[in-house]
């Protein structure tokens, strides 16, 4: 059975969803058996696409919605939220 779940998380790292952060997020999203979409305002992109994530132009303080569907949807969102809350492992 496929489950679809949603969560919201705020980008808190100084540089926002820049190239290195987007690459980390895409690699993480692709590690799960789930399709994850990131929604910011009227824009949306696959969490597994670095280019798509960069086109969202997500900066510090912006809230994004994560939508996941698939066998590992909950685990994928747990891991992605942890990465965002850890500031993509950046110093600030």
For the segment 33-79, what is each residue's pLDDT rounded down to a tens digit?
999 999 999 999 999 999 999 999 999 999 999 999 999 999 999 99
Residue ranges making up the domain that contains 31:
3-89
- Straight-line distance from the first to the last Cα atom of the chain, in angstroms, rounded to the nearest whole number: 40
Nearest alpha-carbon partner for 46 in 76, 71, 90, 87:
76
Residue 40: what pLDDT?
A: 96
Q: What domain count does the chain have? A: 1
pTM here?
0.93
Q: Domain containing 78 — which CATH number?
A: 3.30.1340.10
Known catalytic residues are 18
pLDDT score of 92 more than 70: no
Question: Within a 13 Å sphere around the CA of 40, how many CA atoms are in the beta-carbon half?
Answer: 21
The confidence score (pLDDT) of residue 86 equals 96
């Amino acid at each position: 059975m496929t489950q679809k779940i949603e969560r919201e998380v705020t980008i808190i790292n100084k540089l926002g969803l820049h190239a290195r952060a987007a690459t980390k997020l895409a690699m993480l999203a692709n590690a799960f058996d789930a399709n994850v979409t990131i929604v910011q305002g009227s824009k949306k992109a696959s969490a597994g696409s670095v280019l798509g994530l960069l086109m969202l132009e997500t900066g510090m303080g912006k809230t994004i919605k994560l939508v996941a569907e698939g066998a590992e949807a909950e685990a994928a969102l747990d891991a992605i939220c942890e990465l965002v809350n850890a500031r993509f492992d950046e110093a600030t």
